[in-house]
Amino acid sequence: MIKVVYEVVPHDGGWAYRLGGVYSEAFPTHAEALEAARIVAAEQQVGGDSAEISWQDENGKWHEEYAEGGDRPETEVVDAQWKDRAAGASQSV
């Protein structure tokens, strides 16, 4: 099973969530970006109809494939702000 990880990070004067190297829109607050990432992650869990899909990879090449509607990835939201705090706390011990 594929795992999709959304990371909440500072971006463009605010906060955004990131998947790979792709950023969402910028949100004014960390809380708004975190909530948006949680919503997107939850939506990934909803099955749908099977369909032919097209997608572009990081090199700009287009691909076409058949996607099973019930084949959903595992999702996770990682909070960069929390990770930074946890790293700082462990370093100061």
The residue extents of the domains of the chain are 4-67
Locate all alpha helices (DSSP H) within the chain, ordered by sequence.
30-44, 80-92
| CA distances to 7, 48, 50 from 84, in Å | 13, 36, 40
pLDDT of residue 85: 54
How much is the pLDDT for 84? Answer: 59
Confidence (pLDDT) at 91? 39
Q: How far apart are CA 22 and CA 42, in angstroms?
A: 18
Per-residue model confidence as pLDDT tens digits over 20-55: 899 999 999 999 999 999 999 999 888 788 889 898
Task: Report the alpha-carbon distance of residue 45 to residue 78 in Å, rounded.
Answer: 17
